Amino acid sequence: MMQADVTLDTLGYFCPMPIILTSKKIKELAIGQVLEVVSDDEGIKKDMPAWCDTTGHQMVGMEEERATSGLIYKAFVKKTK
């Protein structure tokens, strides 16, 4: 299991909201900190790596977890600039 400095809950939000919320939240972090984005939108599996490629932040991991409501995705992004 990965460790994060800050967790962003985007459950119930669908594309593009998890990425928009991530973009806002990562500005609050210090360089080197890791943001965990929790989502139930399967699109995050391709959207978050694409966003990291575009912005230059580092995608450090993706986890899937089964919950009673379905799958939960956890994306881990390290602020690099």
Active site residues: 15
Helix (H, G, I), strand (E, B) or coil at 22: helix
What is the side-by-side order of every strand in the sheet holding 34-39?
6-9, 34-39, 70-78, 58-67
DSSP 75: E
